[in-house]
Structure 1
């Protein structure tokens, strides 16, 4: 392992492997994986753009219903368009191959990644040139002609190539600035994601070729059919036309669904890895830092945080940690009321006494509570103040965290873990909801525009159609009918359906688990009472338990007064319980019976 960096102007070229600090994690890890995922999809859509004619002639001069896009007859494309389209596809394939060679370390990073960037740039540039040239030189004559699905597939492939080489360009900039070394280490789930994505798109494109041959579909219609079949949407607008096609659909759909499930699982792990590696860890560090800054472990730190003078029992040189129960109540009582209940410490200053926690004539009630989200680490050891010293005085809204022994420290560590776990769950859920909203609302806008001529679809109807498709219900009352709508649906559904699946998985960790918890709690208190549930409730709510004990004690006192004093009979045995004890069960017995 080395640490040499070759400087060239502002550029800093690092070795293949080094032990220098790394940054730009998203650019170094997430971007190459995203590019490797969208690369095969761009190749597949580019194939659809190559094997399909780009223009169709509509019957009845495009008047509906005879002039629907499905009834169009293809128009021969110019020879130069086919040649350039094939060249673009070749560049896209070779660029994807170099990217895979980089992952497998068959080709060096400094060679493979620039090659992929250049080849994908050329592929997208050629597609852009063809699209612009066809729109100027050989456009469809409206309203009797229109663009085919192949044309729109080529546009989507062009966008994906641009997105891919743009992301890899950012990755190269990070390397040239010395943010990370050349080599890219694949974890198990990252390698699995790349391989499964490639296999899925091969299965999708290969199935389209088979059904095109067996059922007489065009390649684009066969690709659309395979897409709605594997995603289990099944609109029913395109179905196998013979028994051979129906027989092939059975194993094809089954294996396709398996491939889809594996890809979604790998994508889910990839998303979890992104949050775990950066965002969740950053949150955990913030919680730890906040906890340490508010923690106290002995009487001296408690007094320093409250702004009280040192105790007379402690000199300047030999300060030893004293028990908060033996010293604090005695020494702090002159400044205010100190109430200790378990790990909860409450201090209320007396009138006229000014502490660091009191401002002017306004005195605040401070609750110094044990950690609910922290990792307790005394900075300078027991008996020592924190590095920031008494400058971090508690104010009217701040809570100090008191840890008196190892048990409290252990509980605090568990609290940090629980807090981080909740944050991770709800962060993933919020990101999934955001992704769901994006693919839902933006998809509805596209279908609203694309299906206007064919179906006159309103935006609400487009929202309904997208929702039914996202949940793979597929009633069939609405389905893509235009060439642009079908081409976009293939791309959109391959992105949207996995997003919904991940959303449902994240909901199972939060919303569904919460519903199950409250359902079980309701059953424990109502139709299926569980033994000890009252004791658990009181133990987890100290204030309620203290109130119940006070009410019980008050009731016992009132009953004693009503009965009068009980004098023990001399004939009774010494071990026999008095009548007073028999008629008044203890709080412990009350809880156990509950």
Structure 2
């Protein structure tokens, strides 16, 4: 992290040291197991500390294995060799350290006050901070009960921040990993149906089979509408995929945890169903406390398992809100509009509106100040492509429009709102960009920011207005609004900024030509 030693040197050393530590711990555990217990030592039994050591040895082995996978991926070019923590990763690391210091420190304090063993106090602190509340251990002294108030509140605060960081990081990484693959697959599938008039989906998606008969701006506008449809469907697929993965992980944690408790509490005659019952009430933080682990390795496993299971449930609830809860809310609105509060629409129209609502979130109505001035409503600016140059009057008015829209797009991009522009607004912005050069040059990223000053005079730059080949496939690039990972406002902001830079280059070239004369 300090970047004082090269990655190719530091990473192998760290991996070897971790594996060495894991090997030493495993050897010590094995030697202790076969020398201090058994028939030769009838008075000895393995305590919770031994199993905590076994869990630590397992973690000591998992960590270098993950580091080795990272090193292999970096050497093969899959990851960057320069390791640099992002702000979210750094925040999560610090919050995790603080959480465990708080948990262990609280356990030590309450062990001293209540006369508990430290590991029993750690077990109590774990189910207290995680709000499971099993209840087989509870503070009985006046001082212990008094300190419970600040300890529980502080633990909930730290736990909430830590789980929030885990959720944000997991969802961010999952969106990046799955988003591109799902988007590309959906794009290829729908592009095939959009160009085939015999397809069953042809009437439900924008048509692309007659795009070559239209003007460039109309063709690009239709393609943008198609890409927006693809993005909505791909986003819906990604959300449901995230939900299914989270639900599967939660089910695995539940079933595997139940199997472990069934094994560890066999001396209490636990059945597998009883273990399922305990795991479910603990996993959902219900915590009745009528059954609880007592064995030497059941209690350490509960601490280790609960620290993994509760954040898993939080991520599942988050994914649930993006899919099932959203669908139930929209279905309730649809049911109310179709039955109790009917409008002058047919059932089919209600159903179409319901499907469209499911494919995207409800749009926000708040708009940044002045946006309506720059983005006209549908129906405005419907002039032909030949009349674009006259839309803003002279060149000075056009430049003023560029800078006004730049300012308003900056406000919208910084607001974080994922606004979807109307067809009229897209037509306005495409015409604004089109005056500087080919619309396709903007969309496929060929309006380069490093073209030379003389390119406009020679006809090599974007100002030449040459048509770009490639059709719809040219939009399926990382620089397109579909796959760039940007919102529509962010992408339009970048396109308008490139147009302004192009205009400045062109004005500079004209000024140099005038000075030569």
For Structure 1 versus Structure 2, the TM-score category normalised by the shorter chain is 0.5 to 0.7
The residue that corresponds to 2:202 in the other structure is 369
Instruction: Select which of 3, 6, 13 maps to 1:115.
Output: 13
The residue that corresponds to 2:151 in the other structure is 252
> Residues 221 and 367 (structure 1 numbering): CA distance in 2 closer, same or farther, change over 3 Å?
closer
> Is residue 283–residue 313 contact of structure 2 (8 Å, CA) maintained in 1?
yes
Q: Does 1:134 align with 2:32?
A: yes
The residue that corresponds to 1:19 in the other structure is none
The residue that corresponds to 1:433 in the other structure is 247
Describe the superposition over 1:169-196 as per-residue Cα deviations: whole angstroms up to 9, x where unpaired: 1112223334444212332222222111
Counterpart mapping for 1:100-499 below 5 A? 102=1, 104-105=2-3, 107-139=5-37, 145-296=44-195, 367=200, 369-370=202-203, 372=205, 382=212, 408-453=222-267, 455-499=268-312
The residue that corresponds to 2:319 in the other structure is 506
SS state of the match for residue 382, structure 1? helix
Aligned CA RMSD, in angstroms, stands at: 2.8
Shift of 1:129: 1.0
> Is residue 451–residue 485 contact of structure 1 (8 Å, CA) maintained in 2?
yes
For structure 2, the 5+ residue unaligned runs are: 354-517
Shift of 1:108: 4.0
Alpha-carbon separation, structure 1, partners of 2:134 and 2:51:
21
> Is residue 375–residue 416 contact of structure 1 (8 Å, CA) maintained in 2?
no
Q: Which moved more, 1:235-244 or 1:442-451?
A: 235-244
Q: Which moved more, 1:498-507 or 1:272-281?
A: 272-281
Alpha-carbon separation, structure 2, partners of 1:518 and 1:539:
10
> Is residue 140–residue 147 contact of structure 1 (8 Å, CA) maintained in 2?
no
- Aligned pair count? 350
Shift of 1:540: 3.5
> Is residue 371–residue 412 contact of structure 1 (8 Å, CA) maintained in 2?
no
> Is residue 194–residue 201 contact of structure 2 (8 Å, CA) maintained in 1?
no
Alpha-carbon separation, structure 2, partners of 1:187 and 1:377:
45
Alpha-carbon separation, structure 2, partners of 1:112 and 1:242:
51
SS state of the match for residue 290, structure 1? helix
Shift of 1:517: 1.5
Shift of 1:255: 1.2
> Is residue 439–residue 496 contact of structure 1 (8 Å, CA) maintained in 2?
yes
Alpha-carbon separation, structure 1, partners of 2:347 and 2:12:
67
Alpha-carbon separation, structure 2, partners of 1:256 and 1:111:
39
SS state of the match for residue 136, structure 2? coil
> Is residue 209–residue 222 contact of structure 1 (8 Å, CA) maintained in 2?
yes
> Is residue 228–residue 234 contact of structure 1 (8 Å, CA) maintained in 2?
yes
Alpha-carbon separation, structure 2, partners of 1:117 and 1:511:
43
Alpha-carbon separation, structure 2, partners of 1:176 and 1:187:
21
Q: Which has the larger strand fraction?
A: 1
> Residues 220 and 275 (structure 1 numbering): CA distance in 2 closer, same or farther, change over 3 Å?
same
Alpha-carbon separation, structure 2, partners of 1:520 and 1:532:
16
The residue that corresponds to 1:335 in the other structure is none
The residue that corresponds to 1:356 in the other structure is none
Alpha-carbon separation, structure 1, partners of 2:103 and 2:134:
18
> Is residue 190–residue 230 contact of structure 2 (8 Å, CA) maintained in 1?
no
> Residues 111 and 487 (structure 1 numbering): CA distance in 2 closer, same or farther, change over 3 Å?
same
The residue that corresponds to 2:393 in the other structure is none
> Residues 210 and 280 (structure 1 numbering): CA distance in 2 closer, same or farther, change over 3 Å?
same
The residue that corresponds to 1:516 in the other structure is 329
> Residues 208 and 409 (structure 1 numbering): CA distance in 2 closer, same or farther, change over 3 Å?
same
> Residues 287 and 227 (structure 1 numbering): CA distance in 2 closer, same or farther, change over 3 Å?
same
Shift of 1:278: 2.1
Shift of 1:292: 3.2
Alpha-carbon separation, structure 2, partners of 1:375 and 1:261:
48
The residue that corresponds to 2:349 in the other structure is 537
Alpha-carbon separation, structure 1, partners of 2:317 and 2:63:
28
SS state of the match for residue 480, structure 1? coil
> Residues 419 and 538 (structure 1 numbering): CA distance in 2 closer, same or farther, change over 3 Å?
closer
> Residues 217 and 115 (structure 1 numbering): CA distance in 2 closer, same or farther, change over 3 Å?
farther
> Is residue 371–residue 415 contact of structure 1 (8 Å, CA) maintained in 2?
no
Shift of 1:143: 6.9
> Residues 367 and 446 (structure 1 numbering): CA distance in 2 closer, same or farther, change over 3 Å?
closer
The residue that corresponds to 1:581 in the other structure is none
Shift of 1:213: 1.9
Describe the superposition over 1:78-126 as per-residue Cα deviations: whole angstroms up to 9, x where unpaired: xxxxxxxxxxxxxxxxxxxxxxxx2x53554334423332222122111
Counterpart mapping for 1:61-80 below 5 A? none
> Residues 133 and 540 (structure 1 numbering): CA distance in 2 closer, same or farther, change over 3 Å?
closer
